[in-house]
Structure 1
Amino acid sequence: MEILFGLVKTMRPKQWTKNLLLFAAILFSNNLFNFYLLKLSIAGFMLFCMISGNVYILNDLVDKEKDKLHPKKCMRPIPSGEVSIGQAIVFLFISVLSSFYMSYKIGFLFFLVGLIYFLWVTLYSFVLKHVVILDVMSISIGFVLRAVAGAVLIGVRISPWLLLCTFLLSLFLALHKRKSEMELILSGNKTSRKILEEYTPELLNDMLHIVTSSTVMAYALYTFTASHSIYMMATIPFVIYGIFRYQYIIHKKGLGENPELVLLSDKPLIIDILLWAFCCTIILYFI
């Protein structure tokens, strides 16, 4: 049981909150109360959690030695020795086959997007994370693929504006993650990321200024062009507050390296996200 717990832990359950993006399609396509499509989306969410979890296992296998140098990553099951390489490989093989088989059964296009996501993030683990600028953009593309997977799963068209907002918001999170990792180096801690040598605090700040402004503007433009534009604009303050609150947290509490912890632990931010989702639902379905 301890080994199984370690293997599940290696799949990063806390990171699975990112896969909630799959529900964007059913929410904004006015199908939230279609219970067949809702069950389909829930099944897709669970499968994508498995697929993304497989990527994390692969990533830990590749970065085992480097992660031993990191003050926090060294405590993960594979770098710490809690789970052996052989056990992780066998579990990964079974999990990959089962997750893609079930994805194929649920829908070919969903399977295809899931496969592209797996290959893309694998390419990121081996190549793209070592290329400056492309490393953070690759992370954002992974988020966009999640949103696309949710759309093809239920057979609807997702707004290009929402894809753009997803890309920019995830880029915002990725850049803050790099900035937090950079601060670890400046404080004297060792790091396993060579790519950080290509960045400077000034460069990251300049990039964040552009991306933060672009994210707010893109979402505002989406609300202007939405079918319920007059009322959807009422959700803009929630987006602005969420961005500001996130920046406040990472500057005051130093959690930018682990954005999933922020989403799971900060009550004001959780309430803001829930209020945003509630307002979107009311506007889209009842007004």
Structure 2
Amino acid sequence: MSELSYVVRALRPGQWVKNLLVLSAPIAAGTFTETTTFIKALLSMVLFIFASSAVYVFNDIRDKQLDGFHQTKSLRPIASGQVSLKLAILVGVSCFLIALINGLFFNLSVGFVLIIYFAVNVAYSLHFKNVPFIEMLFIASGFALRAITGGIATNTAFTFSYVSVISFSSLCLVSCKRYSELVAHEKYDFRPVLNRYSQRNLSIAIATSILGSFSMYLVWVSRDQTTNIVLAIISLGIYSLALIRFGHLAKVGFCEDPALVLFKDRLLIILLLLWMCIYVGAVYG
């Protein structure tokens, strides 16, 4: 495998699926099919791909020693030494500058959101990753910032309930990830904060975030006068089932990488595809 392929792996392309959230605001508003909105949304998503890649590289540099204790993470290009620290720093800084400079030129507000995203992740990596529950909020905030970026870039209005749905759902996924890590390993050298969690309090976090997602989703669709309310309510039920499925997979230690689960669990794939079809029908039908 060439050095370039190792560098690409270090950018974690498998995690880029998270950046589809940038498109969520214009899709939900029914404006995504407009040419200008479509182009702006895609450009902002590309910016976030560079931004998130810079964060992944920074985190892998920071956690190089800790990742060595994990069966899978130890195989990452930076942790395994396939990408040198010098090259990793060069790649990370390059991605950071590409995202930031182009973001500021593209839309000043988008640039500022990217700065906040970087700042949150640096603060998480340097300190808050060792503070239970707070560290999960920091990770979940990254998903909300993606959704907000898409709204700002396309001049799409977004409500508190919309951002809350994203936030609670993200918190659910992070809680599921932590639960899976807790039950799948006997030692937590790769993530010391796990020593301060228990299955009970993470179960409460998962249940609370699912309930929060359900409640705010209901508020969100009930206040939207432009969607087909019947289809929107049906989509709520399917969305809730998908989150419950995530919770079940977490209990058996299958959610250490939520992004990967999206491509592996057949029932979850079916639920999410069905949800997308019904929700798009509610908005554009």
Which amino acid is 2:218 matched to? A
Aligned counterpart, 1:40: 40
1:178-257 maps to which residues of 2 (within 5 A)?
A: 178-185=178-185, 188-227=186-225, 228=227, 230-231=229-230, 232-252=232-252, 254-257=253-256
CA distance in 2, matches of 1:280, 1:217: 17
Deviation at 1:178, TM superposition (A): 1.0
Q: Which amino acid aligns with 1:198?
A: R
Cα deviation, 1:232-276, whole Å, max 9, x if unaligned, reads 212122112212322333445x32111011112223322322222
Q: State how 1:263-278 maps to structure 2 within 5 Å.
A: 263-278=262-277
Q: TM-score, length-normalised on structure 1?
A: 0.93
Deviates more, 1:54-63 or 1:219-228: 219-228
Point out the more displaced range, 38-47 or 222-231.
222-231
Q: Secondary structure at the match of 2:118?
A: helix
Which residue identity lines up with residue 284 of structure 1 in the other structure?
V
Aligned to 1:137: 137
Counterpart AA for 2:168? L
Match of 2:157 in 1: 157
Q: Which residue of 2 aligns with 1:8?
A: 8
User: What RMSD over aligned residues (CA atoms) do the two structures have, in Å?
Assistant: 1.6
* 1:96 aligns to 2:80 (yes or no): no
Deviation per CA, 1:133-185, whole angstroms, max 9, x where unpaired? 10011111111111110000011211211100111011111111111111134
Aligned length: 283
Matched position secondary structure for 2:31: coil
Deviation at 1:3, TM superposition (A): 1.6
Displacement after TM superposition at 1:224 (Å): 2.0
- Kindly provide the amino acid, as one letter, of the partner of residue 200 in structure 1: S
What displacement does 1:67 show? 0.8
* Preserved contact between residue 184 and residue 190 of structure 1 (Cα < 8 Å): no
Kept in 1, the 8 Å contact 2:176–2:246? The answer is no
Give the residue type in structure 2 aligned to 1:197: N
Output one character per residue of 1:89-112: Cα deviation in whole Å (capped at 9) or x when no partner. Answer: 112222221222221222111111
Q: Which amino acid aligns with 2:203?
A: N
Instruction: Check the 8 A contact 1:71/1:190 in 2, yes or no.
Output: no
* 8 A contact 1:136–1:174 mirrored in 2: yes
Contact 1:22 1:45 in 2 (8 A): yes
**SS of structure 1 residue aligned to 2:78:** helix
For 2:26, the aligned partner's letter is I
Which amino acid in structure 1 is aligned with residue 280 of structure 2?
T
For residue 105 of structure 2, what is the aligned residue in structure 1? 105
Cα 1:94–1:209, aligned 2, differ >3 Å: closer, same or farther?
Answer: closer
Give, as a single letter, the amino acid of the residue that structure 2 aligns with 1:176: C
Separation (CA, whole Å) in 2 of partners of 1:181 and 1:48: 27
- State the alpha-carbon separation in 2 of the partners of residues 33 and 189 from structure 1: 49
Which residue of the partner structure matches residue 57 of structure 1?
57
Q: Which one-letter code corresponds to 1:74 in the other structure?
A: S
- Return structure 1 stretches of 4+ with deviation > 4 angstroms: none
Counterparts of 2:205 and 2:284, CA distance in 1: 37
Q: Specify the code of the residue in structure 1 equivalent to 2:267.
A: P
**Displacement of 1:190:** 4.6
Seq. identity, %:
27
Matched letter for residue 4 of structure 1: L
Task: Using the TM superposition, give the Cα deviation of residue 63 of structure 1 relative to its aligned residue in structure 2, in angstroms.
Answer: 0.6
Q: CA deviation at 1:213?
A: 1.9
Unaligned runs of 5+ in 2: none
Q: Secondary structure at the match of 2:4?
A: helix
Return the letter of the residue paired with 1:25: A
Amino acid in structure 2 at the alignment position of 1:13: P
Which residue matches 1:172? 172
In structure 2, do the counterparts of structure 1 residues 237 and 130 end up closer, same or farther at CA, with 3 Å as the change threshold?
same
Contact 1:7 1:77 in 2 (8 A): yes
Once the two structures are superposed, what CA deviation does each residue of 1:1-28 show, in whole Å capped at 9, x if it has no partner?
7222111111111111111111111112
Instruction: Say whether residues 1:81 and 2:70 are aligned partners.
Output: no
Alpha-carbon separation, structure 1, partners of 2:188 and 2:125: 20
Runs of at least 5 residues in structure 1 that lack an aligned partner in the other structure: none
Q: Distance in 1 between matches of 2:188 and 2:235?
A: 41
